[in-house]
Amino acid sequence: MSDREYPARPIVGIGIVVIKDDTVLLVRRGKPPNVGAWTLPGGAQEVGETAEEAARRELLEETGLEVDTLHFAATVDNIRRDETGRVRFHYTIIDFATRWVSGEPVAATDVTEAAWARLDALDEFELWSEAHRVIAIARRLVA
């Protein structure tokens, strides 16, 4: 069991939507929760770090990319219960949107793959409904 399972309070998570032309950056998770699932890059905010600093750090750690201006996009609550109904994971996720500047993503740290996904073919990645919602908001913000 990780230190993030069965938390005493919600953990602040950070997500980042990187738009490049008609694609969005997705990563495949290598650690719980959601091992093997495609999602937006991101992770937990660290003590002493602003939300924007966390977004930039997570993006760099997971994909090697650096980006320019970040725009607040949305908040998402991710609460997962075990079979007894007890809260196993609880993240409050702050999502940012940005436009790609340069470089190609390379999977690192806790992701196994990083890829540009066509915005008109996201159903192939079986994304969580909230990821679809946040991507739609991000597209409007960085258009």
- Cβ contacts of residue 38 below 8 Å, gap of 6+? 26, 27, 28, 29, 117, 125, 126, 127
Domains of the chain from N-terminus onward: 11-142 (3.90.79.10)
The residue behind tokens 């937990």 is 44
Look at residues 27, 2, 26, 18 and name the one whose alpha carbon lies nearest to residue 112: 27
Q: What is the pLDDT of residue 104?
A: 94
Work out the number of other CB atoms within 10 angstroms of the CB of residue 104: 11
- Cβ contacts of residue 110 below 8 Å, gap of 6+? 29, 30, 31, 43, 62
Q: What is the pLDDT of residue 31?
A: 85
The residue behind tokens 């970040």 is 70
Judge whether 113 counts as a catalytic residue.
Answer: yes
Q: Of residues 46, 113, 124, 130, which has the active-site annotation?
A: 113
Q: What is the mean pLDDT of each run of 10 residues along the chain (143 residues)?
A: 88 97 96 88 96 96 94 96 96 97 92 96 94 97 92
What is the phi/psi pair of residue 73, to 5°? Answer: -110, -50
Q: What is the pLDDT of residue 1?
A: 63
